[in-house]
A and B are shown apart, each in its own frame.
Chain A
Amino acid sequence: MTERLWQILVESFPKILLPGLKMTLPLTVIAFAIAMVIAIVVALIQFAHVKILSQFCRFYIWVIRGTPLLVQLFVVFYGLPKAGLILDAFVAAIVVFSINEGAYCAETIRGALEGVPSGQIEAGYCVGMSYTQIMWRIVLPQALRTAFPSLANGLISMVKDTSLAMNITVAEMFMATQRINARYYEPLALYIELALIYLLFSTVLTWLQRLGEKKLASYGGKEARHA
Chain B
Amino acid sequence: MLKVEHLRKNFGNLEILRDVSLEVHRGDVTAIIGPSGGGKTTLLRCINFLEKADGGTLTFGEETFDLQTIHRKDIARIRLRTGFVFQSFNLFANKTALQNVTEGLTVARKMPKDQAVDTAMNALDRVGMKDRASHYPSQLSGGQQQRVAIARALATSPEIIYFDEPTSALDPELIGEVLSVMRDLAVSGMTMLVVTHEMHFARDVSNHTVFMENGQIVESGESKALFLQPQQERTREFLRTLSAER
Contacts and interface: CB of A to CB of B under 8 A. Distances in A.
Interface in A126-167: 126-130, 133, 137-138, 141-142, 145
Nearest to B48: A126
Contacts of B152: 123, 127
A138 B50 contact: no
Interface string B130-152: 00000011110000000001001
Interface string B77-95: 0011011101010111111
Contact of B50 (A117, A125, A130): A125
Given A119-B86, A224-B139, A129 B108 contact: yes
A19 interface: no
Interface of B: 48-50, 76, 79-80, 82-84, 86, 88, 90-96, 103-104, 107-109, 136-139, 149, 152-153, 156
A129 B86 contact: no
Given A221-B138, A222-B138, A126 B83 contact: yes
Given A119-B86, A133-B108, A220-B138, A128 B79 contact: yes
A122 B90 contact: yes
A102 to B, nearest CB: 24
B104 A129 contact: yes
16 contacts: A116-B93, A122-B86, A122-B90, A123-B86, A124-B103, A125-B49, A125-B50, A126-B83, A127-B83, A127-B104, A127-B152, A128-B79, A129-B108, A138-B94, A224-B139, A225-B139
Interface of A: 116-117, 119-120, 122-130, 133, 137-138, 141-142, 145, 219-222, 224-225
Nearest to B152: A127
A100 to B, nearest CB: 30
B79 A125 contact: yes
B108 A127 contact: yes
Contacts of B79: 125-128
List 5 A-B pairs, minimum CB-CB distance, nearest first.
Answer: A220-B136, A127-B104, A128-B108, A119-B90, A126-B84
Contact of A123 (B84, B96, B109, B156): B84
A125 B156 CA distance: 13
B94 A142 contact: yes
A117 B90 contact: yes
Nearest to B104: A127
A37 B138 CA distance: 29
